[in-house]
A and B are shown apart, each in its own frame.
Chain A
Amino acid sequence: MIDTRELLKKFEPAKDAKIITADPQVRSARFSPCGKLLVAGGFDGRVRRWNVADEATLELPALEGHHAWIDGVAFRQEGELLFTADSWGQLCCWGSYAAEKPDVNWRLEAAHDGWIRDVAVSPNGQRIASCGSDQLVKIWSIADGGKQAEIAAGRDVLRVLWMPDGSLLTGDDRGFVKHWKDDGSLIRQFDAAPLYTLSRLQDVGGVHALAIDREGKLLAAGGTIPKNGATVTGPPTIFLFDVATGEQKHKLSLGADSDCYVADIHFHDEGFLSVVTYGTPGAGQLLYVLPEEGKPFFTRKMSNLHSISWHPDGKRLAVVATNPGSNGNGRPLDKEGNYVGNKSPIHVFGVSG
């Protein structure tokens, strides 16, 4: 039995955080495996980087060349490789990601037709998988960006990750998690269909967050149980499945209808899930929860959280939030009469112990 008090002693986030403000907004912020960088993909086609090795947390020059939204951010430590993917379908491999001006090792303008939702580097570091709204999962050689395989997933694929044995897990927009061999054959399907509904004309929900534990035995699929389309509401929910048998082991209901979506899940080595949610109109939670317990043992309310990343040294975590008051109909102008967008304050918390 895991003692949550012990976990809190070790991992509770400090009250205060170092706040890095990303303007304009970003969604996924990830620490590099070497621990030197925090990299985030933004809404403006630029990859943002911050040096987190020292207190100053200075920003390095943004990486250009992408378009629109960058949702996919992944790394390979060897070679200091950074992979970024955008909503126009471009997949890019950068070398020496911590340098002032990293090289572009290779760039695929049309890796997908349209929105690449997620990317993941294989355990052996040789391949990278990408998935997107074109309903395809593609596997590329990291060395040269050559396409190695393609899986017709049949649905908009929101998340992809690799199992330790080189097989793949995907989460789609209908609430199904699928386990694939890399040759495209389906091993098993996990039914988290309550994460989806058809409301009037709109398909709502899906697997917005996907994570596996270190051994690859338990998988967590997160999203919401959508009550309606348009302004989506519903309780943030995670289903946990036994990977080997497909059996649903737990269902975690993590908030009220206004708390809406689980955006990101991290499976900590010590067995708990750290989860971030965002809801309406400014709701957001950072949660720690043990799968078998159902209710979080730690909750911090913050404003609209979108991703969580733990520093490889285990002593820090970064959570992407949104400025409060980000909603509003009509015309809110600043003092100079300009129309301003929202920002993403990235909170970097130290953890106790």
Chain B
Amino acid sequence: MRLPALRLVAAGTLLLLVGSGSARAEDLAPLHARIDQFITAGAGGPVAGQASDAEFCRRVYLDLAGRIPSLEETRAFLADGDADKRAKLIDRLLASEDHVRRMSQALHVMLMERLGDHAEWQKFLHQSVRANEPWDRIVREILNPNPDDEATRGSALWFTKRLENYGQNPVDIPGLVRDVGRHFLGIDVQCCQCHDHLFVEEYKQEYYQGLFAFVGNTSIRQDVKFPAVGQKPLEKKVEFQSVFVQKPKAVGPKLPGGAEIEIPTFAKGEEFEQQPDKKTRFPGTLKFDTLKLLAEQLPRPDNRPFTRNIANRLWWLVMGRGLVEPLDLGHAGNPPSHPELLDLLAYELAAHQFDMRWLIREIALSQAYQRSSAAADDAAATVPGAKYVVALEKQLASEQLLASIRQALGDGKPLAIDVADKSWTEWQVKFDKALANPPREPEVGHNPTVKAALFFMNDATLLAWIKPEGANLAARLLKQADGAALADELYLSVLSRPPSDEEKAEVASFLAARTDRREKAVTNLIWSLLASNEFCVNH
């Protein structure tokens, strides 16, 4: 499974020679420039121009800070004459507390898929993001949680939520095995089972069974209060039988495409490093510890699916579409839209020790990222998204919507968000209920629901925020006599852009016709923008 590193570097060089004249291997352009070369080459036609400052500002705040910019921040960015302001904004946001929150939330939604939450898990995520822990280390801590490290032991929630049994259903071990493949290798081993025209029967079952051998003996520890995983000894290979050929087979712990691990035999009672204790229900620790082995073998730079998976997911996070789509369905019959680009991203990320912040920064610096999402004409709007001729609209997670709505309706200054705050937690629960997907449905695409529409229209809490109070948006707008100035403040606060002349005129005439019920008119204006498509997506 060694990466053909030399071949990739040569390919990159070749492309540069084609694109820009001469370059030596050592003078490779920065990654974001190379990204643009691949995208441009694959576009097959004209691409949209760069996003306006307002468009860019909103987009990058949402992507990196998990909220829209405040009125103050928008005005400041628009007024800034510095030619480098975009790069500087990117760096500022990546270093901010908002980014810690945003990235923790993105990882949480990706890894837990709304199965549940726990304070220890959040602690693990936050400290990992704050310290910019590399992805391979994060995965090691998830696959082999360390109950003795208070800062990271919450990583076990990834296992324990999947080891719970729901109602009368038995524990869904197949789902757990599947998620190991989906989240960390970008391979849905269960879906492999359909593709008997692409894989040899034995291989695909082996993918599943080999992973099963690593994690099939896990259970939730009952002897501690924090999320923790126990294991029973794996004594023999996993037996399975091909459906079409009635031939019994067996496999030990084995990663897809990897080598099978020998299972040692122990005398009864000798399997444990620390003996289990029936009284305290301590499960013991094993000499042959398959989770430890999984954590050692899976998150490695020479594990191609592992590196491609994270590169693909980070690309998806900021670009709105994976190079491999769906994100968990990578196999020979489902090639990436830009194969060499994905190879490059995977290679470079591995070469940078899986520094996620580094890769996100590089992608954000690219022209492809900073492209406008509006096409020049309707024809261009129908070009497939995979060509990135326009920037793709991205769904906003419920966490981003809560923060953005609070920001838009607030006092215009940047929000100081404390996710542990009691009110904020309650609001998040409410927003999740209305806007998040049901458990195990990945939040990867636009999925408008009747539930969400009703929430925006009639939720008491949300509507109360819109009403004028203190220095909030409605209160400030009501103080504005001038229609144009009101429109300015409204659009900059909610949509993070100045209104067009058309919009200014419409706001003014709308309000002029409703002087007897100005408050209602203003709140309706605010609501209409909040509930609009422009606000509710990341464009």
Q: Which residues of B contact A228 (CB under 8 A)?
A: 168
* Chain A 221-239 interface mask (CB, 8 Å, partner B; 1/0): 0000001100001000000
Which B residues between 168 and 192 are near A, CB-CB below 8 angstroms?
A: 168
Report the minimum CB–CB distance from A329 to chain B (whole Å): 15
Report the minimum CB–CB distance from B166 to chain A (whole Å): 13
- A233–B168 Cα distance when bound, in Å, is 9
* Chain A 34-62 interface mask (CB, 8 Å, partner B; 1/0): 00000000000000000000000000000
Q: Which residues of A contact B168 (CB under 8 A)?
A: 227-228, 233
In this complex, what residue of B is CB-closest to A257?
B168
- A233–B167 Cα distance when bound, in Å, is 13
In this complex, what residue of B is CB-closest to A234?
B168
Number of chain B residues close to chain A: CB under 8 A:
1
Which B residues between 130 and 185 are near A, CB-CB below 8 angstroms?
A: 168
In this complex, what residue of B is CB-closest to A231?
B168
Q: Which residues of B contact A233 (CB under 8 A)?
A: 168
- A63–B168 Cα distance when bound, in Å, is 44
Report the minimum CB–CB distance from A247 to chain B (whole Å): 32
- A221–B379 Cα distance when bound, in Å, is 76
- A252–B168 Cα distance when bound, in Å, is 22
Report the minimum CB–CB distance from A21 to chain B (whole Å): 29
Which B residues between 447 and 483 are near A, CB-CB below 8 angstroms?
A: none
- A241–B168 Cα distance when bound, in Å, is 30
In this complex, what residue of B is CB-closest to A233?
B168
Binding site of A, secondary structure by majority: helix, strand, loop or mixed? strand
- A228–B168 Cα distance when bound, in Å, is 7
In this complex, what residue of B is CB-closest to A229?
B168
Which B residues between 367 and 382 are near A, CB-CB below 8 angstroms?
A: none
In this complex, what residue of A is CB-closest to B170?
A257
In this complex, what residue of A is CB-closest to B169?
A228
Report the minimum CB–CB distance from B243 to chain A (whole Å): 14
Report the minimum CB–CB distance from B1 to chain A (whole Å): 41
- A146–B85 Cα distance when bound, in Å, is 103
In this complex, what residue of B is CB-closest to A226?
B168
Report the minimum CB–CB distance from A38 to chain B (whole Å): 38
Which A residues between 193 and 244 are near B, CB-CB below 8 angstroms?
A: 227-228, 233
- A233–B169 Cα distance when bound, in Å, is 11
Report the minimum CB–CB distance from A281 to chain B (whole Å): 14
In this complex, what residue of B is CB-closest to A228?
B168
- A228–B166 Cα distance when bound, in Å, is 13
Report the minimum CB–CB distance from A234 to chain B (whole Å): 10
- A233–B165 Cα distance when bound, in Å, is 15
Report the minimum CB–CB distance from B246 to chain A (whole Å): 16
- A227–B167 Cα distance when bound, in Å, is 9
- A133–B168 Cα distance when bound, in Å, is 29
Report the minimum CB–CB distance from B489 to chain A (whole Å): 55
Which B residues between 201 and 235 are near A, CB-CB below 8 angstroms?
A: none
- A227–B170 Cα distance when bound, in Å, is 12
- A1–B239 Cα distance when bound, in Å, is 48
Report the minimum CB–CB distance from B115 to chain A (whole Å): 22
In this complex, what residue of A is CB-closest to B167?
A228
- A228–B169 Cα distance when bound, in Å, is 10
- A227–B166 Cα distance when bound, in Å, is 12
Report the minimum CB–CB distance from B170 to chain A (whole Å): 10
Report the minimum CB–CB distance from A200 to chain B (whole Å): 11
Report the minimum CB–CB distance from A240 to chain B (whole Å): 27
Report the minimum CB–CB distance from A39 to chain B (whole Å): 39
- A44–B168 Cα distance when bound, in Å, is 35
* Chain B 13-36 interface mask (CB, 8 Å, partner A; 1/0): 000000000000000000000000
- A233–B170 Cα distance when bound, in Å, is 12
Q: Which residues of B contact A227 (CB under 8 A)?
A: 168
In this complex, what residue of B is CB-closest to A230?
B168
In this complex, what residue of B is CB-closest to A199?
B168
- A227–B165 Cα distance when bound, in Å, is 13
- A211–B168 Cα distance when bound, in Å, is 31
Report the minimum CB–CB distance from B456 to chain A (whole Å): 34
Report the minimum CB–CB distance from A315 to chain B (whole Å): 41
Which A residues between 91 and 132 are near B, CB-CB below 8 angstroms?
A: none
- A227–B168 Cα distance when bound, in Å, is 7
* Chain A 284-301 interface mask (CB, 8 Å, partner B; 1/0): 000000000000000000
- A222–B275 Cα distance when bound, in Å, is 40
- A9–B436 Cα distance when bound, in Å, is 65
Report the minimum CB–CB distance from A209 to chain B (whole Å): 24
Report the minimum CB–CB distance from A151 to chain B (whole Å): 36
Report the minimum CB–CB distance from B5 to chain A (whole Å): 52
Report the minimum CB–CB distance from B508 to chain A (whole Å): 59
- A132–B168 Cα distance when bound, in Å, is 31
Which B residues between 285 and 328 are near A, CB-CB below 8 angstroms?
A: none
In this complex, what residue of B is CB-closest to A227?
B168
Which A residues between 133 and 165 are near B, CB-CB below 8 angstroms?
A: none
- A339–B168 Cα distance when bound, in Å, is 33
- A54–B321 Cα distance when bound, in Å, is 81
Which A residues between 6 and 22 are near B, CB-CB below 8 angstroms?
A: none
- A228–B170 Cα distance when bound, in Å, is 13
- A228–B167 Cα distance when bound, in Å, is 9
- A6–B97 Cα distance when bound, in Å, is 75
Report the minimum CB–CB distance from A256 to chain B (whole Å): 12
Report the minimum CB–CB distance from B27 to chain A (whole Å): 66
Report the minimum CB–CB distance from A332 to chain B (whole Å): 16
- A9–B168 Cα distance when bound, in Å, is 41
Report the minimum CB–CB distance from B523 to chain A (whole Å): 45
Report the minimum CB–CB distance from A194 to chain B (whole Å): 16
- A106–B168 Cα distance when bound, in Å, is 49
- A35–B47 Cα distance when bound, in Å, is 96
> What are 3 A-B pairs at a CB distance below 8 A?
A227-B168, A228-B168, A233-B168
Q: 3 smallest A-B Cβ distances: which pairs?
A: A228-B168, A227-B168, A233-B168
Interface of A with B (CB < 8 Å)? Answer: 227-228, 233
